[in-house]
Each structure stands twice: as structure tokens, then as C-alpha cells.
Amino acid sequence: MLIVQKFGGSSLADANKITNVAKRVAETYRQGNQIVVVLSAQGDTTDKLLEKAREINPNPSKRELDMLLSTGEQQSIALISMALQGLGLSCVSFTGPQVGIHTSSTYGSARIRSIDTERVNNELERNNIVIVAGFQGVNRFGDITTLGRGGSDTTAVALAAVLQADLCEIYTDVEGVYTADPRVVKNAHKIDVISYDEMLDLASLGAKVLATRSVEMAKKYRVQLVVRSSMSNAEGTLVKEDVKVESTYVSGLAIDKDVASISVMGIRNVPGMAYKIFSLLSKEKILVDIILQSIGRDKKKDISFTINIGDLPKAMELLKNNQDNLGFEDVTYDDKIAKISVVGAGMATHSGVASMLFEALYSARINIMMISTSEIKISVLIDERDTDAAANYVHEKFFAVPAR
């Protein structure tokens, strides 16, 4: 089999862990498989590098930031190669540019456009283990780019897709995808199988276990994906196309504290106002999530919406600068909020999921600020201080008896 094995930062944090990873790779190799290993930077290296940059310049150019951040992964690939060589195996490490991972030119959040497979295939044919630095590629200027936080997952899935690998394993420090973040919800349990669509929602709603883009890509190219622990032999979570939804209609809960809400108040009640406000934000690539419009006083209306907390300063600045020409009365924000979402493909055919969610929050006396629904998910916005209680109550309501 051809297997892509990706190891996250926590699985590579120190020399012992590196040795452990090398042993696991060696074992899979000795079973007769061809292996491509994709690595993240060790431990919190990427955060440390970001801090280092900010110490010198709080607002460095994105090109130079990518030049710096990509070094974390480069350390990992060299170290794992050395560990594998120590075990008597022949392997070769490559940076993203070296294996021809071509990306768009947006530094810091580049998208993979194409991958040259020749070099990797040649090495695999020579029975070498191929080690690739995750999270990075090269743009049309020949410059190094990075794929956004958590981007090593995307590298792994993309390689699995172009190499037509039989399996893509994502190794992490937990045993798989959980019904909720186990650090917050004590009774969270591992999910054995989940569909691409459900995983996509969980990832984009804040579950940090897989990068959203990697799931999009896995779905598009039908990559067999397994999320599992590098510390144990437990089976992990299989992410695949269709999962029978008989016994369960909710598969998981996502918690996102990186949200903020903005309220634009006293907007004239005439056509085009929503368009003007949101086109202002979209021009700056600010993603808007939940939107709520209400009729206020004097035939004016208020619009509230949520965005990622990182975009808050920019969004507020844009709105304030345009207050006069848009003609609204006031704009305020709240950054002490959290979003809790329940996700499940079975929701489309089961009624009452929303009321179960609201009942759980009511029993915990937690107030709901905004609600949004789609076919397979419901999200509510709450006070950030209520996050843990809300997550536990909601989880209890839906998962009191393990459904899978």
C-alpha cells in the first residue's frame, strides 16, 4: 500500500517523541508499504517564531513571515530523517518547494494549485521513505509560501490525492475526532466513523482536529482519511463519504471562542443598506457568519453579525470610516462571546434537534444571543463565560448514551 502519514507538532515535541514517530514509520515501512511522511513544526515552534517576529517588528511583511514560519517544518523533516537513518532505513527529506508544491501567491494563506509527483515517485520507486515538510509551498515568483495555520493537514491530503495513496493517516495527540473537545466536555467520546460533510462542518465551526481545507480536499478527491493517536495503537476515526445515520442524528459539537459580533444600529430602512455594509467587508476578505436583522425605533433597522475575532479591528475601522456615507447611527462590538454548534447529517430528517439544543441551554439558564441553522447544523451564540457549562449540558443532552 502507499500510505501518507502526517504527524502534528505535539507528536514531534521532543527527541523522544521524534524517535517514537520514526519507529512507527519504520514499522509501517517494514510491513511492505511505501510511505510519504508529512510533518508539522515541533511543539509550539510556529507560535514561538511568530512571537520572535513580533518582537522585532509588530507588523512584518507576509512574505518574510512565511520565510520564517516555514523553517519550523524544515527542522522537523531533517530530524525525522536522521532518526530513520539511525534505525537503518533509507529516506530523503524535501521542503515544499523541493517537491514542487505550487501555490497561489497569497503569503500566509496560500492555496495549493498543483504538485509535481515525479520526484516523490522516483524516490518511492527506489524504496526510499519520502519525508515532506507540511504547511508550505512555492508561488509563481519562486518564493516560499505557507498554507495557513494547521496547513500540514492540507499538505498531507493533497499529496495523498495526487499520489493516489491508499490511505492518509493524520497522527495527533488525541485518539481521533471526538463528539466535543475532550478538554472542555468530560464525557466526550471518540467518533469511529464520520462523513466528509459532517467533518467539514465540525472543522469549520471550530473543532481544531483537522484543518478545514484538508477536509474539503479529502472530500473532493475521495481520500481515505484516518485521524489517530501517535501515542497509542487505538483505531482512530475514519472520515469517509457516506455514513449510515440510523442510530444517531447528531455526530458532534463544535466550540468556537474566536468569534466576535458587531452591531450596526439605526440603519435607514431602505433597499441596499445590507448590500453596502457587507460588500464593504467582503472587499477586505472578511468572512461574515451569522447575520441577524431587526427592526428598531423610528422605522430604522439594526443589523448584527459575527466574524472571526482576528478581523474585528479591521471591520470596526471600516464601518466607522464609512458611518457618514452609509448613514447609520452607531456601531458596537462584543468580543466576549462564543459559538456552540451541533452537527449531524441525520438532522435533515429528524425534527426537534433545535428544541433539544434550546432546552439544554435553558436548563443551564444560559441566554442565547443569536441562532443560525443549516441542513446539518445549528449554531448558537452565547456569552463566552457560559462556554464550558453550555458545551457540557448540550453534550449531555445529545450524547448521554453513546450513540455510535
The contact set with ligand ASP (CB under 6 A) reads: 8-9, 40-41, 46, 72, 134-135, 149-153
Alpha carbons 246 and 256: distance in angstroms, whole number: 28
3-state secondary structure of 224: coil
Give residue 320's Cα distance to chain centre.
31
Answer yes or no whether residue 134 interacts with Mg ion by CB under 5 A: no
Give residue 312's Cα distance to chain centre.
20
Alpha carbons 226 and 237: distance in angstroms, whole number: 5
Q: Which is nearer to ligand ASP, 148 or 296 (CB)?
A: 148
In whole angstroms, the minimum distance from the beta carbon of 325 to ligand ASP comes to: 39
In whole angstroms, the minimum distance from the beta carbon of 254 to ligand ASP comes to: 19
In whole angstroms, the minimum distance from the beta carbon of 359 to ligand ASP comes to: 38
In whole angstroms, the minimum distance from the beta carbon of 153 to Mg ion comes to: 6
**Footprint of Mg ion on 2-41 (CB under 5 A):** 8
Q: Which is nearer to ligand ASP, 134 or 344 (CB)?
A: 134
In whole angstroms, the minimum distance from the beta carbon of 149 to Mg ion comes to: 8
**Which one, of 6, 69, 2, 70, lies nearest residue 38 by Cα?**
6
Answer yes or no whether residue 344 interacts with Mg ion by CB under 5 A: no
**Which one, of 381, 397, 396, lies nearest residue 255 by Cα?**
381
What angle separates helix 62-86 from helix 45-56, to the nearest 10 degrees? 140
Q: Which is nearer to ligand ASP, 189 or 208 (CB)?
A: 208
Alpha carbons 91 and 355: distance in angstroms, whole number: 55
Do the strands 330-343 and 377-383 form a parallel or antiparallel pair, or are they unpaired? Answer: antiparallel
Q: Which is nearer to ligand ASP, 93 or 152 (CB)?
A: 152
Work out what residue 107 binds among Mg ion, ligand ASP, none; the CB cut-off runs from 5 to 8 Å by kind.
none
Work out what residue 149 binds among Mg ion, ligand ASP, none; the CB cut-off runs from 5 to 8 Å by kind.
ligand ASP
Q: Which is nearer to ligand ASP, 153 or 197 (CB)?
A: 153
Residue in the shown chain whose Cβ atom is closest to Mg ion = 150
In whole angstroms, the minimum distance from the beta carbon of 57 to Mg ion comes to: 27
In whole angstroms, the minimum distance from the beta carbon of 160 to ligand ASP comes to: 15
In whole angstroms, the minimum distance from the beta carbon of 368 to ligand ASP comes to: 32
Q: Which is nearer to ligand ASP, 42 or 304 (CB)?
A: 42
Q: Which is nearer to ligand ASP, 9 or 346 (CB)?
A: 9
Q: CA 163 → CA 95, 110, 128, 238, distances in Å?
A: 17, 21, 15, 20
Answer yes or no whether residue 150 interacts with Mg ion by CB under 5 A: yes
**Which one, of 80, 38, 43, 23, lies nearest residue 173 by Cα?**
43
Q: CA 267 → CA 318, 330, 334, distances in Å?
A: 16, 9, 19
Work out what residue 72 binds among Mg ion, ligand ASP, none; the CB cut-off runs from 5 to 8 Å by kind.
ligand ASP
Neighbouring C-alpha atoms within 13 Å toward the C-beta of 267: 23
Work out what residue 97 binds among ligand ASP, Mg ion, none; the CB cut-off runs from 5 to 8 Å by kind.
none
Q: Are 124 and 130 in contact (CB under 8 A)?
A: yes
Work out what residue 134 binds among Mg ion, ligand ASP, none; the CB cut-off runs from 5 to 8 Å by kind.
ligand ASP
Give residue 242's Cα distance to chain centre.
21
Answer yes or no whether residue 72 interacts with Mg ion by CB under 5 A: no
The footprint of Mg ion (CB under 5 A) covers: 8, 150
